[in-house]
């Protein structure tokens, strides 16, 4: 019996030794694929403030030759190719910004709530991953009333996502989208934006605070008129101590397309010429003042610095680092 066991032990040991020499090694399972992205939250400091970029997802919008009104389809595809992106698809990355001023927890824009595409709608999960509960947020600043910025205020069933937050909307933005005459003249996707704004704000309209762009909305956060993308489109300057951050909202979007080619007018800029003027003014200010910038549709973590190159601008993204 003892001999038998010894022989079997020997045989096993020999098999293991043989296995160790081969590849893959016997007895080691392959690691399963995760098939999901990791948490999308990136924290950085601005003076005494703590900021967290919260990733909502990416909307892969099919586009054609009409997407940029003053550039051809091949020109747009060439810009995509130079950024190593496939043709005829505009990747619209969505990243909201959480600002903890020490006395206020402020969320700037709210994501898409999974109501635009299956590949976006992760804002709440990523807030959770960053250790923040939706109920802890006391202030929400809306840059403008497009669906990818306001839909996160409500679930698909109409429940409020941020029960304790005071919501602030720019006055000219509110006035435009809530005007029945404007809605009656709208068609296509713009009509969809009107209906969606009313779906989101219909029953909470009385509680929504309106502000004039230019006002300091929260101590340390000044709103800036950035009209053109929409009639009341608003950017924000966040300031703490001697540090400041320019939150450009939708002034630029994909840097590979619209910082590189700031004069391009995509169909979703409602006043294309004014949007170009705003874009150039804001990018020039960011370059001249060497300001840290954040932008809702920049690649995650959607912050960095802008530099001038040729007739356009490049984003130098912030480097992931410990706080
Ligand atoms: Zn947007």
At 30 the pLDDT is 87
Q: How far is the CA of 21 from the centre of ligand 1 (A)?
A: 55
Return d(Cα 54, Cα 57) in angstroms, integer: 9
Q: How far is the CA of 275 from the centre of ligand 1 (A)?
A: 13
CA distance to 60, 146, 155, per residue, from 115 (Å): 14, 12, 9
Q: How far is the CA of 149 from the centre of ligand 1 (A)?
A: 6
Q: How far is the CA of 17 from the centre of ligand 1 (A)?
A: 59
Q: How far is the CA of 255 from the centre of ligand 1 (A)?
A: 13
Q: With 50 as the cut, is the pLDDT of residue 3 above it?
A: no
At 256 the pLDDT is 95
Q: How far is the CA of 93 from the centre of ligand 1 (A)?
A: 9
Return d(Cα 124, Cα 144) in angstroms, integer: 20
Q: How far is the CA of 84 from the centre of ligand 1 (A)?
A: 22
DSSP string over 272-293? HHHHHHHHHHHHHHHHHTT-EE
Q: How far is the CA of 157 from the centre of ligand 1 (A)?
A: 22
Q: With 50 as the cut, is the pLDDT of residue 22 above it?
A: yes
Per-residue pLDDT of 207-220, as tens digits, reads 999 999 999 999 99
Q: How far is the CA of 169 from the centre of ligand 1 (A)?
A: 15
* Pairing label, strands 292-294, 243-247: parallel
At 156 the pLDDT is 86
Q: With 90 as the cut, is the pLDDT of residue 14 above it?
A: no
Residue 134 CB contacts under 8 Å (≥ 6 apart), including other chains: 124, 127, 161, 162, 163
Q: How far is the CA of 127 from the centre of ligand 1 (A)?
A: 19
Return d(Cα 129, Cα 125) in angstroms, integer: 6
At 251 the pLDDT is 98
CATH of span 39-317:
3.60.15.10
Per-residue pLDDT of 183-197, as tens digits, reads 999 999 999 999 999
Q: What is the mean pLDDT of residues 84-107?
A: 98
- On whether the CB atoms of residues 127 and 134 are closer than 8 A, the answer is yes
Q: With 50 as the cut, is the pLDDT of residue 77 above it?
A: yes
Per-residue pLDDT of 219-266, as tens digits, reads 999 999 999 999 999 999 999 999 999 999 999 999 999 999 999 999
Per-residue pLDDT of 117-139, as tens digits, reads 999 999 999 999 999 999 999 99
Among 17-21, 113-117, 241-245, 314-318, which is the least confidently predicted range? 17-21
Per-residue pLDDT of 253-265, as tens digits, reads 999 999 999 999 9
Per-residue pLDDT of 29-59, as tens digits, reads 789 999 999 999 999 999 999 999 999 999 9
Ion ligand 1 — residues with CB < 5 Å: 148, 250
At 21 the pLDDT is 53
At 110 the pLDDT is 98
Q: What is the mean pLDDT of residues 164-192?
A: 97
Q: How far is the CA of 66 from the centre of ligand 1 (A)?
A: 19
Q: How far is the CA of 82 from the centre of ligand 1 (A)?
A: 23
Per-residue pLDDT of 267-294, as tens digits, reads 999 999 999 999 999 999 999 999 999 9
At 295 the pLDDT is 98
Average pLDDT taken over every residue of the chain? 93
pTM of this structure: 0.90
Q: With 80 as the cut, is the pLDDT of residue 26 above it?
A: no
Q: How far is the CA of 31 from the centre of ligand 1 (A)?
A: 38
Q: With 60 as the cut, is the pLDDT of residue 64 above it?
A: yes
Domain ranges of the chain: 39-317
Q: How far is the CA of 288 from the centre of ligand 1 (A)?
A: 25
Q: How far is the CA of 95 from the centre of ligand 1 (A)?
A: 10
Residue 4's pLDDT band (cuts 50, 70, 90): low
Q: Which of 4-13, 24-33, 272-281 has the highest mean pLDDT?
A: 272-281
Q: With 90 as the cut, is the pLDDT of residue 95 above it?
A: yes
- On whether the CB atoms of residues 263 and 310 are closer than 8 A, the answer is no
Q: How far is the CA of 296 from the centre of ligand 1 (A)?
A: 7
């Amino acid at each position: 019996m003892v001999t038998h066991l010894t022989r079997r032990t020997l045989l096993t040991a020999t098999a293991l030794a043989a296995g160790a020499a081969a590849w893959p090694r016997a007895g080691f399972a392959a690691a399963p694929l995760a098939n999901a992205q990791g948490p999308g939250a990136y924290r950085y400091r601005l003076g005494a403030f703590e900021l967290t970029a919260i990733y909502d997802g990416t909307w892969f919008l099919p586009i054609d030759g009409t997407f940029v009104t003053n550039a051809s389809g091949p020109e747009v595809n060439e810009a995509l190719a130079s950024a190593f992106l496939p043709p005829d698809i505009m990747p619209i990355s969505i990243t909201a910004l959480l600002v903890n001023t020490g006395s206020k927890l402020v969320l700037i824009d709210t994501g898409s709530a999974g109501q635009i595409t299956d590949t976006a709608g992760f804002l709440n999960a990523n807030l959770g991953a960053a250790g923040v509960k939706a109920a802890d947020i006391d202030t929400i600043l809306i840059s403008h009333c497009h669906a990818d910025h306001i839909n996160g205020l409500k679930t698909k069933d109409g429940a409020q996502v941020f029960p304790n937050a005071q919501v602030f909307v720019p006055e000219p933005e509110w006035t435009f989208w809530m005007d029945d005459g404007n809605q009656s003249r709208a068609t296509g996707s713009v009509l969809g934006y009107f209906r969606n704004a009313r779906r989101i704000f219909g029953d909470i309209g009385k509680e929504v605070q309106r502000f004039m762009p230019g006002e300091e909305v929260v101590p340390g956060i000044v709103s800036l008129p950035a009209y053109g993308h929409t009639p009341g489109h608003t950017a924000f300057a966040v300031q703490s101590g001697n540090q400041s951050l320019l939150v450009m909202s939708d002034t630029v979007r994909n840097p590979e397309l619209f910082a590189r080619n700031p004069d391009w007018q995509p169909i979703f800029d409602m006043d294309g010429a004014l949007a170009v003027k705003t874009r150039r003014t804001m990018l020039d200010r960011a370059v001249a003042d060497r300001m840290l910038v954040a932008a809702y549709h920049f690649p995650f973590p959607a912050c960095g610095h802008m530099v001038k190159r040729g007739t356009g601008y490049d984003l130098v993204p912030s480097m992931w680092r410990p706080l």
